[in-house]
């Protein structure tokens, strides 16, 4: 029987040190692109892919995330009284139903694979998605929905994949391609953060995954990999060694690395330019900046 993907894990335990001092008190997943937190984009994308259960793997200092997804009755009441129905609708669109979202803590920062493993009891024996909220993907059809469709065909593990320049491959999990079928590639290996010059291809793993329970079994082994951490990429590769298929999926869409300052700023500009209420002003401003910069050269 074909299995449906209804659960997603959101690993959000990282310290976000690249955004200090902001992340001293604000979890990086709450940082906003225009007016919506990064994590809201991740939730919306998962919901659009048919996800019904949202599992957050958090850590100390992340309670603002739980507050964010809670209902805000006082604020709602005030907006209702003031007749601000548009704002009320925006607020309501972020509500999560009781029981739809679960939080669990990763007690020690032992890597992405370990964070995913922390959710094993809530996943059980079904395929599941993993969404890294740092990777924001702007697409007509949301990336995870594209992948769920592909999974319905293949029923094998699928990782989002994107071509990266050779000198950037060391920052990613990289696919060793068996057969390139265009949108989908089959793999004969995955390497987490290969040493410079040693990447098996230029196809990098981006933070969207659809995985089978075999990957959780591999994570049970707690094999330490790159940086001494338990890597998700390694567990996926081990599941492949153990006879499962692992496919790379070239998604349609523009990916922004919101784990880096440059990527975060680019996403902010792109998302603001996509907004009817902001485009004209921002465009005029950007033009001014570019002209002034050119004149000064
Ligand atoms: C993680 C994964 C890596 C993947 C990347 C995508 O790395 O370990 O395989 O390519 O996300 O963003 P991180 O960026 O957390 O170091």
Q: Is residue 166 part of a domain?
A: yes
* Region 12-19 average pLDDT: 89
- Ligand 1, atom 10: nearest CA belongs to which residue? 172
Q: Is residue 149 part of a domain?
A: yes
Based on the fold, state whether residues 109 and 171 are members of the same structural domain. yes
Q: Is residue 72 part of a domain?
A: yes
CB 279 within 8 A of CB 273: yes
Collapsing DSSP to helix, strand or coil, 155 comes out as coil
Based on the fold, state whether residues 12 and 78 are members of the same structural domain. yes
- Ligand 1 centre and the CA of 207: distance in Å? 7
Based on the fold, state whether residues 54 and 126 are members of the same structural domain. yes
Q: What is the pLDDT of residue 4?
A: 87
- Ligand 1 centre and the CA of 232: distance in Å? 9
Polymer length in residues for the chain: 297
Q: What is the pLDDT of residue 98?
A: 86
Q: Is residue 1 part of a domain?
A: no
Q: What is the pLDDT of residue 112?
A: 96
Counting other chains too, the contacts that 187-190 makes at CB distance below 8 Å and 24 or more residues apart are 187/240, 187/246, 187/247, 187/248, 188/240, 189/237, 189/240, 190/159, 190/233, 190/234, 190/236, 190/237, 190/240, 190/246
* Region 266-283 average pLDDT: 96
Based on the fold, state whether residues 265 and 215 are members of the same structural domain. no
CATH code at position 15: 3.90.550.10
- Ligand 1, atom 13: nearest CA belongs to which residue? 172
Q: Provide the percentage of residues in the chain whose pLDDT is more than 70.
A: 99
Based on the fold, state whether residues 266 and 255 are members of the same structural domain. no
Q: Provide the percentage of residues in the chain whose pLDDT is more than 90.
A: 80
Based on the fold, state whether residues 155 and 180 are members of the same structural domain. yes
CB 125 within 8 A of CB 203: no
Crossing angle of helices 143-154 and 38-48, in 10° steps, is: 40
Q: What is the pLDDT of residue 71?
A: 85
pLDDT in tens, 195-246: 999 999 999 999 999 999 999 999 998 888 998 999 999 999 999 999 999 9
Q: Compute the distance between CA of residue 74 and CA of residue 114 in angstroms, rounded to an integer.
A: 38
- Ligand 1 centre and the CA of 160: distance in Å? 11
Based on the fold, state whether residues 142 and 272 are members of the same structural domain. no
Q: What is the pLDDT of residue 1?
A: 61
Q: What is the pLDDT of residue 22?
A: 86
The parent domain of residue 276 ranges over: 260-297
Residues framing ligand 1 (Cβ under 6 A): 112, 132, 135, 172-173, 192, 204-207, 231-233, 259
- Ligand 1 centre and the CA of 273: distance in Å? 27
Based on the fold, state whether residues 174 and 138 are members of the same structural domain. yes
Q: Is residue 2 part of a domain?
A: no
pLDDT in tens, 109-150: 999 999 999 999 999 999 999 999 999 999 999 999 999 999
Provide the whole-model pTM.
0.94
């Amino acid at each position: 029987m074909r299995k449906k993907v209804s659960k997603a894990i959101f690993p959000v335990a990282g310290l976000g040190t690249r955004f200090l001092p902001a992340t001293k008190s604000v979890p990086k997943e709450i940082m906003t692109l225009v007016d919506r937190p990064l994590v809201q984009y991740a939730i919306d994308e998962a919901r659009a892919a048919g996800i019904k259960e949202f599992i957050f793997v958090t850590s100390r200092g992340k309670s603002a995330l739980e507050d964010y997804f809670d209902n805000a009755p006082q604020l709602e009441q005030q907006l209702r009284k003031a007749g601000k129905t548009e704002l009320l609708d925006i607020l309501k669109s972020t509500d999560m139903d009781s029981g739809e979202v679960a939080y669990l803590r990763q007690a020690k920062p032992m890597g992405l694979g370990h964070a995913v493993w922390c959710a094993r009891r809530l996943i059980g024996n079904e395929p599941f998605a993993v969404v890294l909220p740092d990777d924001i993907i702007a697409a007509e059809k949301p990336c995870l929905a594209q992948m769920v469709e592909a999974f319905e065909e293949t029923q094998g593990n699928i990782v989002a994949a994107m071509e990266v320049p050779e000198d950037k491959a060391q920052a990613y999990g990289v696919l060793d391609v068996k057969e390139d079928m265009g949108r989908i590639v089959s793999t004969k290996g995955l390497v987490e953060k290969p040493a410079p010059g040693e990447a098996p291809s230029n196809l990098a793993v981006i933070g969207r995954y659809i995985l089978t329970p075999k990957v959780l079994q591999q994570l049970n082994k707690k094999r330490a990999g790159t940086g001494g951490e338990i890597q998700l990429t390694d567990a996926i590769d081990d599941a492949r060694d153990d006879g499962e298929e692992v496919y790379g999926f070239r998604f349609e869409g523009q990916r922004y690395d919101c784990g880096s300052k440059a990527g975060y700023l680019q996403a902010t500009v792109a998302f603001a330019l996509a907004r009817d209420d902001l485009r004209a002003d921002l465009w005029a401003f950007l033009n001014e900046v570019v002209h002034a910069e050119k004149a000064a050269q």
